Every structure is written in C-alpha cells, then in structure tokens.
C-alpha cells in the first residue's frame, strides 16, 4: 500500500480523496493555483505545493508542474479526481513514465473510450447495444443530411472527442442541419481541439442511466448497480439518485452485465462508469467515463462501499477480493449539486465572496463541499461548490430529507442552483418518477425566478418607504414597537435574505 499520494485536483473532490486517504493512514499532497492558496484542500492535506498561476492552463493542467510536485514530495501515486487531466491518456502515460502509479485506468482504455467514434466501434464489436447511428465522422453538413435520411429524424450531432454536453446539437429536420453542423463542429474544435462530428438517432424523452464499475489488475470486475442522472440542464447533471425508479432488479443486473462486458472489451482497470440512454424499456450504450464520477456518493450510500478506497486498493495491486454476489443495495440516495449559478438569469455563473454559510445536518445527510466562509468564487473554475447527499429507507423518505436539508442551507454572497433543485424535488411528477432528460426545461425556472426577483425588489422598496416614514414620525410618536417597526423588522429580514440570495424555499438563489 502507498504511504503518500498526490491529488492532481482541487475543491471537493480533492477533499474527498484526502479524507479516505487519512482513514487509510496514507499521507496526501495537495497542489494549488494562486487563486486556491487558501482553499480547504491545501489546509487538510499533509503537504501543499503551489503550482502558481491563476488559470487552470497555468496550474492544474500543466503536467510538468504536477509531476515535479510529486517528485519533490516523494509521492508514490497520483489520483486525478475528475475533470482537469483525469481522462487525459497522455497525462496518465506521463505519470507511469515518471515511475509513479496512476490511480485510474490504463491510458489505452482512456483513449479507446474517450473518443466517441472509437468507443462506438469497440462496443459494437463487443456486442454492446449502441444507439443507431454512424461509426465514422462526418465531413460536412451535406454528408450529414444524407446520413440523416437513412437514420431518420430527429438526430443528434455529437463531438467525437467531446464530453460534458459540449459539441452537441439536436436536428429535427433537414433545413436545420447546416447551421447545427457548423455550430457543433466549431464548439467541438474550441472545446477539445478536435472538430470531428458523428451522428446518432436522437431518442425523444430518454432517461440517463449509468452503471458504476470497478476492475482490479487481475481482470476481476463488479458493478455497483445503477444511478439515475436524468435531471440535467444542457447535458449538465443537477440531481442524481441511486437506484432508478424505472429500473427493476432484473434490468439492473442485465445492464450491469453489459457494462462489465464493455469494460472488459477495453481491458479496463480501476473505477469507471458506463452511461446508457434508456427509452421505452430498451437501453443503449452512450459513453464510458474513465474516472470517478461526481455522483459516486449516491452509490456509496446505498452499497456501503467507499469507492475511493477501492480505487486506491486496486491501484496498489490488491485483488478486488469479492465477487458480484457480495454487492448489496439498501435504501435510496439522492445527490444535489450545489453550483454557483444564477437560476433567475439562465443559470449563468454567479461570482462573489461567500460571506455567510449555513449547512444542513441531521441523520443520513452528507456534505461533500469545497466552499468556506470568505471564499472568492470566480469564473476560472467549474461552478460546482459542492454536493449535498442524503439517504433514506425509501425514495419518498430520501426526497423529503433532501427537501428539508436544502431548506436549511444558506450560501450568502453568491447565487446557487439549490432553488432549482428544490423546484424539481417538490414537483409531483418527479415524486412519481415521471420525468426524462428534458424535465428541468419543462419547469420554466427562468420565468418563475424572474417573477420572484420582482417580488423581492418590491419588498425592498416597501421597506425603504417604511424606513423613511418611520424616521419622519419617530420624533413625534416615539412608538418603536408599532406596526411600522414590525414591518421594518419583517421587511429588513426579507431584504437581507435577498442580498444573500433568496431563501431556498422561496425558489430564488440560495
């Protein structure tokens, strides 16, 4: 087992790895940009090494700086977290070439699954069901129109080297193709340095279901069941749960077996996730994420498995030590991502200083957070501040617990996505399990929150009016406990909450 590992990441995932490593009696090395000099992961790690520079391109994405930090501190292995270089095959190869252990899959598996065209070919060859479409990139919009005639509209144009919802456009009729192809290819080029586009049938009202896998270096693998990740905006997930309300035990086992087959086909090792689209009782391979997922805590809560511990164990050469029969599922878990986003303004990033922080507690409530009071939130990094996770004996209990926890939470100084999550959780359709990947759009949150902003602004104006009137009347009446003063206190409280971000139960920014 390792004695010291370096975490090539920041924020809540760096903290997540640090905590498990401490429990395993493994020392940790944190790296940080100038922006993150006061970040929590730099304070919780045994050693913190500056990378210098504020931007990711100057710090967390510079292979040479990270390898130098590992060499300087005597780290034996590198855990990449997620994002940044976690799915970069060249980085994984550089780590190995430097004589360090890569806590992740082989570079060859990253390459095979990172390219969407290559992965589709590999999955078709392995007998894994894929969404009907092409396995070759398209040259131009004309070729795309011709291919779409054979597949049938609607179709999805997707970046071959992409992920995270970038480089994707939905085309419902031929006249939209030229503009969509140009936009998708341009976005793919700017985001990934690769403008290749492929095509597949677009499934209306699909659900996003994924399977968590773990393989050791001896070829043994297990799956930990399914996660439902259909509540998303522009292909960015907001709420995840384990298990899924539409996947019964038999389907779960079938999907798990297919996912294991997919992993084995590329010689997979360590933790990974196979993502499927589920529609009308059928499921199709979407992609494989060759890293730990943001939503891994819901699987941990239901299976009682520390996935980071398992990652470190198998990377050190240990055998898995158990088979599929040993994996059990108990209860229901839900995760909400807490993003610095203004839900009243098209979910644009929200910036500022976190000056107030009230976190929820209670039984079976877990917080994976990277934020702290006094933290500056900018636009150079991912807007996710952390995650709130709850467990319940049933789905209904888990939903009720998450609603209560979100209502307790307050993040002052920036807007967050918590109100949007509350709107979803309180919706009768969600509670009944009647939703798909377009559910969040159906709530029309922008309009709802704009109306709320108008109410808050009106309340603040009334407060200012009463304050001015009270000052004018005070010398004569001396009544400091009359209705004007009570109004002042009530509206002042309302205005203060508005300044911090409307309270979660009001549906505005938290």
For residue 325, what is the DSSP state? G
d(CA 251, CA 266): 23
With CA atoms as reference, report the closest residue to 197 among 134, 154, 146: 134
Residue that has been written with the tokens 């990740």 in this structure: 229
CA 71 to chain centre: 31
Residue 72 DSSP symbol: H
227 catalytic? Reply is no
In the set 169, 291, 313, 497, the catalytic residue is 291
Give the other-Cβ count within 10 Å of 60's Cβ: 24
Residue 407 has which token pair?
């209502």
Q: Backbone phi, then psi, for 479, in 5-degree steps? A: -85, 95
**Under DSSP, is residue 481 helix (H, G, I), strand (E, B) or coil?**
coil
419 in Cβ contact with 342 (< 8 Å):
no
- The three-state secondary structure class of 83 is coil
CA distance 189 to 195: 4
Cβ-contact 94, 67 below 8 angstroms: yes
Enumerate long-range contacts of 121-128, CB under 8 Å, 24 or more apart. 122/265, 122/266, 123/262, 123/265, 123/285, 125/265, 126/261, 126/262, 126/265, 127/261, 128/258, 128/261, 128/262, 128/265, 128/285
Instruction: Report the alpha-carbon distance of residue 420 to residue 507 in Å, rounded.
Output: 7
Catalytic residue list: 291
């Amino acid at each position: 087992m390792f004695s010291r590992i370096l975490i090539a990441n920041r924020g809540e995932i760096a903290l997540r790895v640090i905590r498990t490593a401490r429990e395993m009696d493994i020392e940790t090395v944190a790296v940080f940009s100038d922006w993150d000099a006061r970040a929590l992961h730099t304070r919780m790690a045994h050693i913190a090494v500056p990378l210098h520079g504020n931007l990711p391109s100057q710090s967390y994405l510079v292979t040479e700086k990270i390898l130098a930090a590992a060499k300087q501190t005597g780290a034996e292995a590198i855990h990449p977290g997620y994002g940044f270089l976690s799915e970069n095959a060249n980085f994984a190869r550089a780590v190995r070439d430097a004589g360090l252990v890569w806590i992740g899959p082989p570079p060859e598996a990253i390459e095979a699954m990172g390219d969407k065209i290559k992965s589709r070919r590999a999955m078709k060859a392995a007998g894994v069901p894929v969404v009907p479409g092409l396995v070759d990139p398209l040259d131009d919009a004309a070729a795309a129109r011709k291919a779409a005639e054979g597949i049938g509209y609607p179709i999805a144009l997707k970046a071959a080297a992409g992920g995270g919802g970038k480089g994707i456009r939905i085309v419902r009729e031929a006249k939209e193709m030229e503009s969509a192809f140009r936009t998708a290819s341009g976005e793919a080029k700017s985001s990934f340095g690769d403008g290749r586009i492929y095509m597949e049938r677009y499934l209306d009202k699909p659900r996003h279901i994924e399977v968590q896998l773990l393989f050791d270096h001896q070829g043994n693998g297990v799956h930990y069941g399914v996660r439902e990740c259909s509540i998303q905006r522009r292909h960015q997930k907001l709420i995840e749960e384990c298990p899924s309300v539409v996947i019964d035990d038999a389907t779960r086992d079938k999907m798990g077996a297919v996912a294991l087959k997919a992993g084995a086909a590329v010689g997979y090792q360590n933790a990974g996730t196979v993502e499927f689209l589920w529609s009308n009782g059928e499921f199709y391979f979407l992609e494989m994420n060759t890293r730990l997922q943001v939503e891994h805590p819901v699987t941990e809560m239901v299976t009682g498995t520390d996935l980071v511990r398992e990652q470190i164990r198998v990377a050190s050469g240990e055998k898995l030590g158990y088979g599929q029969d040993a994996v059990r599922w108990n209860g229901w878990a839900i995760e909400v991502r807490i993003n610095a986003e203004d839900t009243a303004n098209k979910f644009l990033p929200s910036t500022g200083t976190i000056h107030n922080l009230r976190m929820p507690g209670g039984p079976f409530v877990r917080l994976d957070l990277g934020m702290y009071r006094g933290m500056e939130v900018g636009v150079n990094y991912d807007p996710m501040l952390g995650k709130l996770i709850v467990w319940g004996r049933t789905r209904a209990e888990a939903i009720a617990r998450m609603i209560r926890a979100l209502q307790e939470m307050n993040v002052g100084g920036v807007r967050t996505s918590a109100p949007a999550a509350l709107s979803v959780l309180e919706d009768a359709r969600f509670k009944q399990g009647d939703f798909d990947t377009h559910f969040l759009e159906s709530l029309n949150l922008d309009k709802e929150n704009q109306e709320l902003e108008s109410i808050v602004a009106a309340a603040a104006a009334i407060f200012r009016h009463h304050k001015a009137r009270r000052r004018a009347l005070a010398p004569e009446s001396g009544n400091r406990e009359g209705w004007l003063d009570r109004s002042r206190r009530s509206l002042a409280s309302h205005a203060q909450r508005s300044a911090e971000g409307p309270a979660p139960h009001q549906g505005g920014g938290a």
